[in-house]
Amino acid sequence: MAGRWSARRGRKVERATLTITALGVYEAFLNDRRVGKFVMAPGWTSYDTRLQVQTYDVTGLLGAENALRVRGGKGWYASPIPGWLKSADKTRRKNRQTALIAELLIRYEGGEAELIATGEDWQWVESPIRFSEIYDGETCDAGFVDDAPKPCALFDAPMDNLIPQEGEEVREMERVEAKRVFTTPAGDTVVDFGQEVTGYVEFRVDAHAGDRVRILHGEVLDRDGNFYNENYRSAKAEINYTCREGAQTWHPELTFFGFRYIKLDAFPGTPAPEQFTAIAVYSDMRQIGHVRTGHAGVNQLISNVFWGQKGNFLDVPTDCPQRDERLGWTGDAEVFVRAASLNYDVERFFLKWLKDMTADRFPDGSVGSVIPNVLPGDRPSAAWGDAATICPWTIWQTYGNIEVLENQYDTMAGWVDAITGMTTTPNLWTGGTHFADWLGLDAPSGSYKGSTREDFIASAFYAHSTSLVIRAGRLLGRDVSRYEALYDAIVLAFRATFTDYRTQTEHILAVRFGLAEDVQATADALAEMVVRDGTQLRTGFVGTPHILHVLSEYGHADLAWSLLLREQYPSWLYPVSKGATTIWEHWDGIMEDGGFWSADMNSFNHYAYGSVIDWIYEVAAGIRHDEAHPGFSRAIVAPTPDARLGWLEASIDTRNGRISSKWNYGAEGVRYEIDTPVPATLVIDGRATEVGPGSYTLWGRA
Ligand code: BGC
């Protein structure tokens, strides 16, 4: 769509702003210069009730004669999401009309103003981008010109869903140059970027008009070294580009892919690595956490966690960026939120997404499995819907800004009330459909669900969510007496019902959520069980984020370290030994014999198990938040060193300054260096010292 006009003669422009949004995705160009850096604007929200509007300062882009051109695509709004489901709801969304609304406000010196707004006097032409969609990719005919502008039609849409931009803008954040171009045993030409990224490929090519480029995306090679992307399922994830004459550089503009490899199905000339760059596109969040260690495998794991977050924080916290899914799964976000909030400043990112959660609640106040909710017929699952309480609480604890609790309190309390209304047994959560300890290693053959009892998980999270509602409510001055009574009743019922713990995850939850009558004995029993299991994890999405915390908190730090440093399957370092550059969905996405776990559900960029990095910050480096002092206005630094690592350095740029912790094994013991900008409790070898802000060097036992 385009509009043209002349600036008022002889008038100096003081400021010009473009206010714009779309049903779909858009990029705007004022006088052929791109407006802003937001990729995939206006982002992804629960569009029916919340559509973000962006405002850009375009003063510097104005001339005497002006043309505003906006290119639109389907984006999340009109793509067939989720790809794997057949539903009338999806078809309805896929066929929705895309649309654009914009106004340019020019303020001249002296107070006069001019408003140029989209309307019937605007015109549209067909774009060289012939096709674009979230899962299937983009098709561009660079030589295509439509020189027959047509008048725009007015589209009657409700406007009460328009809201100002709330989240971080998605931007082109990093460029990763191709490492090599090679021919596979099957004869395909493949480019390897050496790193899995989410975004798109930029290529440079000297070609004749009409030459074709066809690019397919993949995350891994198969055991024979061949290109593989069956795990993208129905997502075609391809680029089709028709060249114009001469040298040209191009990348997709209205979609994204998750990939490390690309297959050049068609490409003019002999491709060389210098012709390809992967552009990583993600929400513009500031990195605040840093960790380095003396262990190459752990360092790669840490890098994989960061890349997992970058690849899945593209406006919404998603499960994965590549297959016909890429949804805001609540369970995955709940599992990873602590880690996410220490790696990057994600307060704004979560403030926005949590408001979508509120908007998409079911009528009974319960929260579904994906936000924005695009799953018709979805029902709430324990540990997924509990994102309603866990995410706001974590964001509050990390950043110390009460706004998130003020915004979300009703949704938090509503979630607990909904469980109370849904359950088949008073004071426990029984019945319902749950994802259980998803992908747990103790799953019976053929099942995705670990062996931990569903009622156990659901009731444990019911207790935990209730306790978070109480804590949040007290801070906000709400009457929480009803929840206090409920919490006590849940704990009693839980203890009376679950008198034994059968799996690793059952032990973990009973300790972590304070439900076991004897937490020390339960943690000891967990340690014994882990050793009996071969010093191996048997956990899935629900147990894994907490297992190391539970072990180290109750005197089994050495065992926690052994789990972290284990390299054989199953372990965090096993994928690293297989060359992973992001976190895998399955502990054995690539099996020991080089085969794949499956084609139907095997993502190589799923951040959930990357939650282990919060243990590295909080226990290994020991930089802990103190619940009574959110935002790290006071700190606890209690490092837990391990000689197998040699050394570790970590820091977090908190809202109160940088807290850093280093330890290093030397001949005379362990040397600690701690910097704190806030009063802190330093705990070395179990001895606590209260200190003021400053830098401290201490020595401890090796
Ligand atoms: C997603 C998960 C999600 C799960 C729910 C999967 O398809 O990729 O990460 O939490 O479904 O069971």
Is 690 labeled as catalytic in the residue annotation? no
Place of tokens 């931990």: 452
Catalytic residue among 27, 138, 168, 325: 325
pLDDT single digits (tens) 12-57 = 899 999 999 999 999 999 999 999 999 999 999 999 999 999 999 9
As a whole number of angstroms, the distance between CA 520 and CA 528 comes to 12
How far, in Å, from the CA of 253 to the mean position of ligand 1? 28
Place of tokens 């036992």: 701
In percent, the amount of the chain with pLDDT more than 70 equals 99
Instruction: Choose which residue among 232, 318, 323, 329 to substitute to test ligand 1 binding: the one with the highest number of ligand atoms within 8 A of its C-beta.
Output: 329
pLDDT of residue 7: 65
pLDDT of residue 89: 84
Neighbour tally for 428: CB within 10 Å: 23
- The answer to whether the beta carbons of residues 680 and 695 sit under 8 Å apart is no
pLDDT of residue 539: 98
Looking at this protein, which amino acid is placed at residue 282? Y
Reported as a pLDDT band with limits 50, 70 and 90, residue 85 is confident
Q: Whose CA is nearest to atom 3 of ligand 1?
A: 329
Query: What is the atom index within ligand 1 of the atom nearest the CA of 585?
Result: 9
pLDDT of residue 174: 98
pLDDT single digits (tens) 92-102 = 889 999 999 99
pLDDT of residue 108: 93
- The answer to whether the beta carbons of residues 256 and 348 sit under 8 Å apart is no
As a whole number of angstroms, the distance between CA 447 and CA 220 comes to 25
Reported as a pLDDT band with limits 50, 70 and 90, residue 90 is confident
Reported as a pLDDT band with limits 50, 70 and 90, residue 8 is low
Is 347 labeled as catalytic in the residue annotation? no
pLDDT of residue 3: 67
Looking at this protein, which amino acid is placed at residue 390? I
As a whole number of angstroms, the distance between CA 121 and CA 152 comes to 7
Please list, in sequence order, all residues whose beta carbon lies within 8 angstroms of the beta carbon of residue 214, skipping any fewer than 6 positions away: 238, 239, 240, 241, 264, 265, 266, 267
Alpha-carbon distances of 162 from 21, 355, 359, 414, rounded to whole Å: 9, 14, 13, 25
Reported as a pLDDT band with limits 50, 70 and 90, residue 9 is low
Mean pLDDT of the chain: 96
Reported as a pLDDT band with limits 50, 70 and 90, residue 702 is confident
DSSP labels for 10-58?
T--EEEEEEEEEEESEEEEEETTEE-SS-TTBT----TTT-EEEEEEE-
Q: Region 172-185: what's the mean pLDDT? A: 98
Catalytic residue among 168, 347, 585, 618: 585
Query: What is the atom index within ligand 1 of the atom nearest the CA of 331?
Result: 10
pLDDT single digits (tens) 259-278 = 999 999 999 999 999 999 99
Q: What is the model's pTM? A: 0.97
pLDDT single digits (tens) 643-682 = 999 999 999 999 999 999 999 999 889 999 999 999 999 9
pLDDT of residue 444: 95
Nearest to 47, CA basis, from 18, 19, 76: 76
Looking at this protein, which amino acid is placed at residue 143? G
Query: What is the atom index within ligand 1 of the atom nearest the CA of 320?
Result: 8
Hey, CA dihedral for 625, 628, 633, 638, is it positive or negative? negative
> 87-94 contacts: CB < 8 A, separation 24 or more?
87/376, 88/376, 89/374, 89/376, 90/374, 90/376, 93/374
Residue ranges with strand state E in 254-413: 257-266, 276-283, 286-287, 289-293, 313-314, 316-317, 344-345
As a whole number of angstroms, the distance between CA 237 and CA 233 comes to 10
Query: What is the atom index within ligand 1 of the atom nearest the CA of 601?
Result: 7
As a whole number of angstroms, the distance between CA 260 and CA 692 comes to 47
How far, in Å, from the CA of 607 to the mean position of ligand 1? 11
Query: What is the atom index within ligand 1 of the atom nearest the CA of 319?
Result: 9
Q: Whose CA is nearest to atom 1 of ligand 1?
A: 319
pLDDT single digits (tens) 375-392 = 988 999 999 999 999 999
How far, in Å, from the CA of 527 to the mean position of ligand 1? 29
Q: Whose CA is nearest to atom 6 of ligand 1?
A: 319
pLDDT above 70 for 484: yes
Q: Region 552-562: what's the mean pLDDT? A: 98
DSSP one-letter code for 614? H
Q: Whose CA is nearest to atom 9 of ligand 1?
A: 319
pLDDT of residue 471: 98
pLDDT of residue 86: 86
Q: Whose CA is nearest to atom 11 of ligand 1?
A: 329
How far, in Å, from the CA of 319 to the mean position of ligand 1? 7
How far, in Å, from the CA of 629 to the mean position of ligand 1? 34
pLDDT above 90 for 537: yes
Nearest to 90, CA basis, from 77, 72, 109: 77
Nearest to 498, CA basis, from 456, 527, 548: 456
Is the link from the previous residue into 82 a cis peptide, with omega within 30 of 0? yes
pLDDT single digits (tens) 332-346 = 999 999 999 999 999
Q: Whose CA is nearest to atom 5 of ligand 1?
A: 435
Q: Whose CA is nearest to atom 2 of ligand 1?
A: 319
Residue 24, both tokens: 């779909």
Residues having CB within 6 Å of any atom of ligand 1: 319-320, 325, 329, 331-332, 435, 438, 601, 606
Query: What is the atom index within ligand 1 of the atom nearest the CA of 438?
Result: 12
Neighbour tally for 666: CB within 10 Å: 12
pLDDT of residue 598: 85
Hey, CA dihedral for 32, 36, 37, 39, is it positive or negative? negative
